[in-house]
Amino acid sequence: MKNKIHNISVVKYDVANGLSGVLKNYRNIFAEDMTFSQPGTIKSNSKKIKTNSQSKVFTFLKNIKLLKYLSFFYYARIAFNKLQKENIQKNDWILFHDPFSLFYATVLDKVRIKKLHNNLIFFNHSIGDPKEQIDYRYDCWFTRLITKFIFKFIRTTLNTSHILNLSQSALDNFNSTYGISHLNTFVIENYLPSKGKVNSESDFDNINIYIVGTISKIKRQIEILNQLPKDFYNIKLAGSIMDGFSMHDIEKIPCAEYLGILHKPYEMFKKGDILLSVSSSEGLPLSMIEALREGCVILATDVGGCNRVCINGKNGILLHKDFKISELIESLDNIIPDKKLIKQYSDYSLNLFEQHYSSKSGYDFFKRYFNTNEY
């Protein structure tokens, strides 16, 4: 590319999931065409902390929501200072992946950001209003007050910037909240490095059903799986357990097998396997795109950007957000015995990945919209 894109994020570089996973993939795809400013992981004294007699107090303090929230400003400072070391040219772009780094750069360090004289872009990775997402995760009066203050200034910044988002509904939500209809806005995908060879199984005799992601109330895994009959297909569940759920809650599900937290769940996928998502809210799930890349069948609720990954009747079944449990059972009963249908869905997933989510499609997107200034 002619001009570089400088990514800045408060997310630690070696965190495996979510936004950090997306940034890692971008790093692999774009190589020298992008720079990445992320805090990294502070590993010093980690062993000492674990053996220290005050470890319980330390763990307690670490988990206080306010401290976690305030730490983002510290990480934003580290990331922004790293950005200053890059050879940034006048026509380069700075792509902010979170409100904290954008706020730090434009408010707390506005002198240096003005000197850069660059194009600023905000990449909102949440499905809706990022302010609401932050308030939901860090729910106390003080964090709400700070967040409100942050977005008051960010709204001014957005008047001269650009916005990328993972779904059109999120952009519509953004527009109604902040009045940004006059800005350049685009829906973007989560891009993944392409694979040379798919882990294939041509006979489709041993089809696995997977649910991957954080186990929580909003994702509804436990709620839905508990409604399935005892003699139903075995469903493999992977992800961290949140919202007060425990291993006991998972063990009570008769048709589920818990695989633990997997940092590379795609390694267990094979061609023809089924990825199931019963969530009531999503952005553009990275696990779904990873499943596309392996040639999996997708069965998902029509929320967020899922309908861009699961094309109803083409590579799987798209369920209504408030589907009946009988509809889920019927969908799986229709797919699993039909090897011809599984092959059809699987091949479509592979083609869909190459066309919209692969390294090449991602590179083409950034080349078109950043180099030619069409964006």
DSSP secondary structure string for all residues of 309-364: HS-BTTTEEEEPTT--HHHHHHHHHHHTT-HHHHHHHHHHHHHHHHHHTSHHHHHH
Q: State how far the Cα of 75 lies from the Cα of 317, in Å rounded to an integer.
A: 41
Question: For residues 33 and 4, is the Cβ–Cβ distance under 8 A?
Answer: yes
Euclidean distance between CA atoms 67 and 210, whole angstroms: 35
- Count of domains forming the chain: 2
CA distance 249 to 252: 5
Residues with Cβ within 8 Å of 64's Cβ and at least 6 positions away in sequence, in order, are none
Say which residues have a Cβ less than 8 Å from residue 50's Cβ, sequence separation at least 6. Answer: none
Same domain, yes or no: 181 and 312: no
The alpha carbon of 93 is separated from its chain's Cα centroid by a whole number of angstroms, namely 22
Q: Residue 202 falls within a domain, yes or no? A: no
Kindly indicate the confidence band of residue 167, based on its pLDDT and cuts at 50, 70 and 90: confident
Residue 342 has pLDDT above 80, yes or no: yes
254 domain residue, yes or no? yes
46: pLDDT strictly greater than 50: no
Neighbours of 136 (CB within 10 A): 11
| pTM of the full structure | 0.81
Domain region containing 249: 209-356
Domain contains 148: yes
* pLDDT tens profile 258-267: 999 888 888 9
Token representation of residue 286: 């990275």
Q: Is 276 part of a structural domain of the chain?
A: yes
Mean pLDDT of all residues in 10-14 = 78
Q: How far apart are the first and last CA of the chain?
A: 14
Is residue 22, in this structure, part of any structural domain at all?
yes
Taking 3-state DSSP, the helix, strand and coil percentages for the chain, each rounded to the nearest 5, stand at 45, 15, 40
Assess whether 338 and 221 both reside in one domain.
Answer: yes
Q: Is residue 259 included in any domain, yes or no? A: yes
